[in-house]
Copies of this chain bind each other. A is one copy, B any other.
Amino acid sequence: MEKKVTIYDLARELNVSPSTISRALQGHPGVGPELRKTVKRLAAKKAYKVNRNAASLRTKKSRTIAILVPKINDYFFNSVIAGIEIMARENNYTVIISQSNDEYETEVDVVNSLLSLNIDALIVSLSMRAKNYDHFKPFLTGGIPIVSIDRVTEEIMATKVFIDDYGSAYMGAAHLIEQGCRNLAAITGILDLKIYSERVRGFRDAIKDHNLPVREEFIYQCMLLSEDGKKAMDHFFVKPEDAPDGIFCSNDTTAIACIQDCRKRGILVPDDVAIVGFSNDPRSEIIEPNLTTIAQPAIEMGRVACEQAILQINKPKSLITSTDIILKTELVIRDSSRRK
């Protein structure tokens, strides 16, 4: 079990001081060009790696960005993470990933444990069960920037990267109406989260703007799991003669559940009921009929979020600002809503 090589080892071998080694490796001026080369060569030869703990302790910078999302094994967040990872790697940052499982307590827990890790920034998508946001305050008072993605809130002073939820939902609902639907239903996530309330607002406005009635009982609030999709269908179809002919879902999981449930009930999609999902999950191209859905630029969102995080890290702390970055979505029309 060999010990790791330190700058002291290199210093001894070259008969210079450790400080010179450190400066040489960082390319500081004030170290002769020749010495610098010698040092770098020796460092490479002996497979020297900085001890990031030591460096972080001294500089109070860890070159680490933490990510906190509701679920790691979810297509959308996954892609966001992949995007962050790419940008982080390009900028020589390390990434730490955690999940809240959409539970408030876990979120608080994770956030607290991140506090001892000396991270440089936090990229977070809120859990569905938000109660308050006090657990994020130590970051802000500690000068650690927060970038909030997708599920954002005004209550945290943070750069926000998200999509035009209102417009996307409006687009989805309007599309259903254009396809001939007159009786729209929606499956939404918990309305405490702005992302979902905005989508419902867009959904409502699209209906109103087309002079159709908004049926409150056709707005089903849930955790957006597959079972919830089925429950929503049960709810919508208590009176089959007075059921919706178009469903706008706030994610693809519930949309797919609806399609599958329709098949069981012998309801034709899109002719009896047209369905639109949200996210453009890979499953949407596989389900029959293929699912019409709102495509979100997930990887791009990750990249941008990470970019913003790095920007904030390098900005004088007094200048912490709260930018909003809104990314474009796209309605991907497939067979689950296309009527001839």
Q: Does A75 contact B (CB under 8 A)?
A: yes
In residues 37-58 of chain A, which contact B (Cβ within 8 Å)? 47, 49-54, 56-57
How many identical chains are in the complex?
2
Q: Does A4 contact B (CB under 8 A)?
A: yes
Q: Which residue of B lies closest to A287 (CB)?
A: B286
- Which of these binds chain B: A96-104, A186-194, A241-249? A96-104
Could you tell me the distance between the alpha carbons of A53 and B120 in the complex, rounded to whole angstroms? 13
A1 to B51, Cβ gap below 8 A? no
Q: Does A279 contact B (CB under 8 A)?
A: no
Q: Does A115 contact B (CB under 8 A)?
A: yes
1/0 per residue A66-87: CB within 8 Å of B? Answer: 0000001101001101100100
A98 to B73, Cβ gap below 8 A? no
A31 partner residues in chain B, CB cutoff 8 A = none
A94 to B118, Cβ gap below 8 A? no
A50 to B116, Cβ gap below 8 A? yes
Q: Which residue of B lies closest to A284 (CB)?
A: B286
A62 partner residues in chain B, CB cutoff 8 A = 53
- Which of these binds chain B: A135-143, A199-207, A216-224, A332-340? A135-143
Q: Does A173 contact B (CB under 8 A)?
A: no
A57 partner residues in chain B, CB cutoff 8 A = 51, 53-54, 57
A49 partner residues in chain B, CB cutoff 8 A = 112, 115-116
Instruction: Tell me which of B73, B78, B117, B138 contacts A94 (CB under 8 A).
Output: B117
A81 partner residues in chain B, CB cutoff 8 A = 72-73
Could you tell me the distance between the alpha carbons of A52 and B62 in the complex, rounded to whole angstroms? 11
A13 partner residues in chain B, CB cutoff 8 A = none
Give, as a whole number of angstroms, the nearest-CB distance from A127 to chain B: 15
User: Can you identify 26 A-B contacts, CB atoms within 8 angstroms?
Assistant: A1-B141, A4-B142, A47-B138, A49-B116, A51-B116, A52-B118, A53-B53, A53-B54, A53-B57, A57-B57, A72-B78, A72-B81, A72-B85, A73-B75, A73-B78, A73-B81, A73-B82, A85-B98, A94-B96, A94-B113, A95-B98, A96-B96, A96-B97, A256-B286, A282-B283, A283-B283
Q: Which residue of B lies closest to A4 (CB)?
A: B142
A89 partner residues in chain B, CB cutoff 8 A = 98
Q: Does A23 contact B (CB under 8 A)?
A: no
A138 partner residues in chain B, CB cutoff 8 A = 47
1/0 per residue A158-193: CB within 8 Å of B? Answer: 000000000000000000000000000000000000
Given contact pairs A1-B142, A286-B287, enumerate 14 new A-B contacts (beta carbons under 8 Å).
A1-B141, A2-B142, A49-B116, A52-B117, A54-B57, A57-B57, A72-B81, A73-B75, A82-B99, A85-B98, A89-B98, A94-B117, A95-B97, A286-B286
1/0 per residue A1-23: CB within 8 Å of B? Answer: 11010000000000000000000
Q: Which residue of B lies closest to A109 (CB)?
A: B89
A79 partner residues in chain B, CB cutoff 8 A = 73
Q: Does A288 contact B (CB under 8 A)?
A: yes
In residues 109-152 of chain A, which contact B (Cβ within 8 Å)? 112-113, 115-118, 138, 141-143
Interface centre among A4, A50, A73, A78 (most CB of B within 10 A): A73
A283 partner residues in chain B, CB cutoff 8 A = 282-283, 286
